[in-house]
Amino acid sequence: MLIRPERSASLKALFRPESVAVIGASSNILRFGGRPIDYMKRAGFEGAIYPVNPTRDVIQGLRAYPTLSAIGDSIDCALVSVPTDETVAAIRDCAEAGVKAAIVFSAGFAENGPAGRALQDEMVAIARTSGMRLLGPNCMGAFHAGHRFYGTFTVTFEDQIPPPGNVGLVSQSGGYGGYVMRHAAMREIGVAAWATTGNEADIDAGELMLHLAGDDDVEVIVTYLEGLRNGAAFVEGLAAAKAAGKPVVAMKVGRTEEGRVAAASHTASLTGEDAIYDAVFEEFGVIRASTSRELLDMTYALSRGRRPRGDRVGVVSISGGVGVQICDYVADAGLSLGVSPDALRQELTSLVPAASTRNPIDMTGLVSMNHDLMEKTMDATLASGAFDAVVVFLGICGMTPSMAEPLRDVIIRAQERHPEALVLLSVTAPEDEMPGYSRGGVLAFEDPADAIAALKALWRAPTPGQRAALMAPGPAVALPEGAGRLDEAKAKALLAGLGLRPPREERAADAAGAAAAAERIGGAVALKIVSPDIAHKTEAGGVALRLSGTDAVRAAAEAMLPRVAQAAPEARLDGFLVSEMVTDGAEMLLGLTRDPIFGPMVTVGAGGTLVELLKDTAVARAPVTEAAAKAMILSLRTAPLLTGWRGSPALDVDALARAIAALSSAFAATPRLATIEVNPVVVRAQGLVALDAVIETSLGAKEEEHHERR
């Protein structure tokens, strides 16, 4: 399943075919085999359309062919809309005819159980042999608006075929793909290309995103995901989109346990842990939407192509209360409120003496009745240079045309005169008048909360040129043969080689030896009796903690021997273990695991029971750079405990970041490392001590394959 460039290029036939065959073509433009022909004719598709149907000579005015082979032309793309039991034969015909890509509408395959899966596997095998690509089965197809190709039966185009735009949409759900398409059309969000992936027997969402990242017609990519099987392809798609400066908006359903269970019953796909999706989205700057409205608002805003230069928001309202509300949304979004300069405040006061001229700027209902005042307000506010975006609340003025149109026009003109700051409008207007507010660069929304959510997306989306720093895995570490848990010595050695030293400790034969060991170790030590016969050392009086100085250690050892001998008279005593006491610093947890979808992942979190309760962790794909590791650490809610909280000393975050980078790098490079958990690792003012760790290895065949794919 390694994705090679030529495979991605092979998707050209899926979006921009020169010739299209429709197998199972219908004269009824409401049937699956009829709609695509109707849409392509109406859209003015310039390639050849060949209906295939053994019972008709002419379909929708086009010559029909009894079989694919009767066409006698090369076919780039075939749409397969025949009953389930005829699909494999149709795919075989396509392969034999040299079709480059087949879109299989038909359902009844893997989603229906083992028998269907066998049929699906057979189709894939046929396609692989000929090099043909497959979209579906059980999908709604694909279209490319610029190429006027409509290989889909979505009902969305029944009324009209909307003009092309710059959005590329990849949906794992056909129904949801149509839903978004319809809403996009209603809001005049132009779509360039669209694909629904159905069962993903061959082409999956990741590969489609990779392809769209390279399509010049596409500037924003939107994806709807239920669950991925091939994380590597998805990551490749995201990396390509980021490199191309194309923002990605994603809705991933199955966020919650309830949703995950539901997703498992809906498709055959795995739904991964949501936090891991979040980590991957974060890595590539993907903007996550949790509702359709968010998805559409963000897509709308991003598709207009303008970004704020900074995060300073200005708020202009005709109602003070709503201005305060908008400030709440600005704070929620992590944006900042700009500060009205004095000159602006004076100018606004001269326009409306009763105005509140601090930000939020409340120009009172007066400006709603006087568009000249609104124009001057906008000019002054935008020209002040104090704001990177200005949100204007017009409220229900939009419902009164005599008020609304002049206000709208002066705001649009002001935006055109002052393009350096973005203008976002919040207005209640009849549905069909909303697009009229969206001109001259102005973005229009009904609810101000939606405007701010969209602005956040504009501000957070990666800009062209921001490349994802993909870390190469470091050198592999040597492991003993076989699968299982590494013994203590090997685990310690492995971690020490990566900058995570164990606590210092030494064996000593007698009290004098223990004192000498303590001196070499330095600082406070713990003293423990060594005996193969004593399971519970503390109960037997065989543990002394926090001993400082050689005298204390010698005295404790001398007192310990008779005490233990009395408590466990038959135990063999083999001297002492002297260990460094680690009582300072903060306990953290480091974990490395292999996710079935996204491969090696690294987790850092605060250790200890309390924080386990709070689930305060950060996770990312491994390997991570030191800088990324440090960002993960600092993203923890309990990070202040490391960086100096209330006068406590700052701890060695850099050493922890180095260890995370080294550990993640070695883990990614060594497929037979199944899991590593260092818990706790103590971060001290200087350096780290790994107090305990578990390292598991596997036989590794599966992991090696996974690793190679990345």
Among 292, 550, 625, 635, binds its own copies (CB under 8 A): 292
Residue ranges of E strands in 30-163:
48-52, 58-59, 62-63, 77-80, 101-104, 133-135, 141-144, 149-152
Q: Are 546 and 582 in contact (CB under 8 A)?
A: no
CA distance 674 to 666: 12
CA distance 325 to 333: 13
Residues from 400 through 419 that contact its own copies (CB under 8 A): 400
Residue (273 or 447) nearer to its own copies, CB:
447
Could you say whether residue 81 binds its own copies (CB under 8 A)?
A: no
Draw the binding track, 641-680, toward its own copies (x: CB under 8 A; -: no contact).
x---xx-x--------------------------------
Identify the DSSP state of 634.
H
* Alpha-carbon torsion, ordered 252, 256, 258, 259, to 10 deg: 0
Please report which residue ranges of 384-510 form alpha helices under DSSP H. Answer: 401-417, 448-460, 488-497
Q: Which stretch binds its own copies (CB under 8 A): 485-493, 557-565, 610-618, 654-662?
A: 610-618
Least CB distance from residue 699 to its own copies, whole Å?
33
Could you say whether residue 266 binds its own copies (CB under 8 A)?
A: yes
Among 81, 230, 617, 638, binds its own copies (CB under 8 A): 638
Among 58, 610, 627, 650, binds its own copies (CB under 8 A): 610
Residue written as token pair 């299989």: 104
Least CB distance from residue 123 to its own copies, whole Å?
19
Helix (H, G, I), strand (E, B) or coil at 571: coil
CA-to-CA dists, residue 170 to 7, 57, 142, 185, 209, angstroms: 18, 35, 9, 16, 7
Q: Which stretch binds its own copies (CB under 8 A): 46-54, 251-259, 482-490, 674-682?
A: 251-259
Among 85, 332, 420, 654, binds its own copies (CB under 8 A): 332
Among 61, 354, 463, 472, binds its own copies (CB under 8 A): 354
Task: At 670, list the tokens.
Answer: 């060594």
Could you say whether residue 146 binds its own copies (CB under 8 A)?
A: no
Draw the binding track, 7-46, toward its own copies (x: CB under 8 A; -: no contact).
----------------------------------------
Residues from 208 through 247 that contact its own copies (CB under 8 A): 224, 226
Number of neighbours of residue 162 by Cβ within 10 angstroms? 18
Among 85, 86, 121, 158, binds its own copies (CB under 8 A): 158
SS3 content of the chain, % helix, strand, coil (to 5): 40, 20, 40
Among 56, 229, 293, 306, binds its own copies (CB under 8 A): 293
Q: Which stretch binds its own copies (CB under 8 A): 68-76, 280-288, 331-339, 524-532?
A: 331-339
Phi, psi of 603 (to 5 degrees): -125, 135
Q: Which stretch binds its own copies (CB under 8 A): 88-96, 98-106, 167-175, 201-209?
A: 167-175
Among 1, 9, 399, 627, binds its own copies (CB under 8 A): 399
Draw the binding track, 426-465, toward its own copies (x: CB under 8 A; -: no contact).
--x-xx---------------xxx----------------
CA distance 175 to 154: 8
CA distance 664 to 498: 10
Q: Are 197 and 139 in contact (CB under 8 A)?
A: yes
Rg over alpha carbons for the chain, rounded to the nearest Å, is: 33
Q: Which stretch binds its own copies (CB under 8 A): 68-76, 123-131, 395-403, 536-544?
A: 395-403
CA-to-CA dists, residue 37 to 47, 63, 71, 97, 463, angstroms: 12, 12, 16, 21, 39
Residue (180 or 668) nearer to its own copies, CB:
180
Could you say whether residue 178 binds its own copies (CB under 8 A)?
A: yes
Could you say whether residue 290 binds its own copies (CB under 8 A)?
A: yes
Residue (472 or 613) nearer to its own copies, CB:
613
